[in-house]
Amino acid sequence: MESFYLEPRDANKKGTTKMRFHRQKLRMALVFTAHNRKEKTKKFLDFWSSFAHPFVEISIFACDDGSVDGTRDLMEEYCQNYSIGSGALFWAGGMRRAYELIDIEKFDALIVANDDIYLKASEVRAIIDQFCNDMLSIHIGKFVDEKGLYSYGGLRQNKFFRASFKLSENDEEVDTFNMNFAIIPTQLIKRIGFLSKSYTHSKADIDFGLRAKVDGVNFRVYPVPLGICNRNSDYRTSKDRSLGFVQRWRLLLSTKEQPIKERIVFCSKHGGWFWPLLVVQPYLELIIDTAFMKSVSWWRWLKHAFSSVRASLKLFWGD
């Protein structure tokens, strides 16, 4: 029977000792949500149905948020328990719905993951091994895109614009993380809860990581990419410069991007003293970007007009 050691957060203090317990297997709950991408969801579930670890037992809990492409049939086939959403839960809402299916007392950890990731079994076993040796930390999986560039993982918070984050270049310096893949001890969730109901789609995972950091939890980024996960495309988002300003503005305020109410909540909690200024940051950036693009367009038109006039004069007057 395998032995596991738990290191308390104050392990460096005099008189503290490692906690040890025996159990045949650790119990982990895999939590994810899906919406109308059946082929990717099936590959994801096929991976977990064939995956095995000698010291871990994994149960799958999912939410199908109103898919119409047959995803529900996959839930029925692969999942220990699943819930059906209306189609308006989005990512954070779907994850919360799936989490509500779990009896948290029966599990040692949650594996939170997206169903659009392509995983390497050897690396997943290794990050689980890492968790078994440190069951009080959050273990973060990082990913690369198809070009080999880092796409998701541990994040650093901007020191000045504290509502802005970027991928950390140093695995030892992480403030929060993307939940494309992470192993979270259930003891932490019992203390700080799961994803906040303040967020419908984005920012929920980043908010959770920041709350965990305040609680004193360590982040351990697995040093090797777990697999492939491409960044979301800018197409048909507020960053798509082929769209007009009104379309981009509506997309920016939509549930998937920066709805104003959720932006206020996030900035007020994590933005520091100057959070009101940070609230307007993405909206000002769009206005400035649009104005810049217009100015560039005008400049290009003026250059073209000047070149045309000069060419005409040359033809008329000669060289």
Do 280 and 212 fall into the same domain? no
Q: Are residues 47 and 138 in the same domain?
A: yes
Tell whether 10 and 102 lie within a shared domain. Answer: yes
User: Can you give the length of the chain in residues?
Assistant: 319
CA neighbours closer than 13 Å in the CB half-sphere of residue 301: 6
Q: Are residues 83 and 9 in the same domain?
A: yes
- Domain total for the chain? 2
The residue among 228, 253, 276 that closes a domain is: 228
Of 59, 65, 69, which is closest to residue 83 (Cα–Cα)?
Answer: 65
Query: Are 155 and 175 spatial neighbours (Cβ–Cβ below 8 Å)?
Result: yes
273/127 same-domain check: no
Taking the CA atoms of residue 225, residue 227, residue 228 and residue 232 in that order, the dihedral angle to the nearest 10 degrees is -70
pTM reported for the whole predicted model: 0.86
Assess whether 88 and 219 both reside in one domain. yes
Query: The domain containing residue 172 runs over which residues?
Result: 3-228
In this structure, are 70 and 172 located in the same domain?
Answer: yes
- 88 shares a domain with 16: yes
Q: Say if residue 307 is in the same domain as residue 177.
A: no
Tokens of 260: 């104003």
Same domain, 36 and 72: yes
196 and 71 together in one domain: yes
Residues 285, 138, single domain; the answer is no
pLDDT, one tens digit for every residue, the chain (319 residues): 344 544 444 444 443 334 444 557 999 999 999 999 999 999 999 999 999 999 999 999 999 999 999 999 999 999 999 999 999 999 999 999 999 999 999 999 999 999 999 999 999 999 999 999 999 999 999 999 999 999 999 999 999 899 999 999 899 999 999 999 999 999 999 999 999 999 999 999 999 999 999 999 999 999 999 999 999 999 999 999 999 999 999 999 999 999 999 999 999 999 999 999 999 999 999 998 888 776 555 556 556 556 656 665 665 565 5
Cα–chain center distance at 55: 27
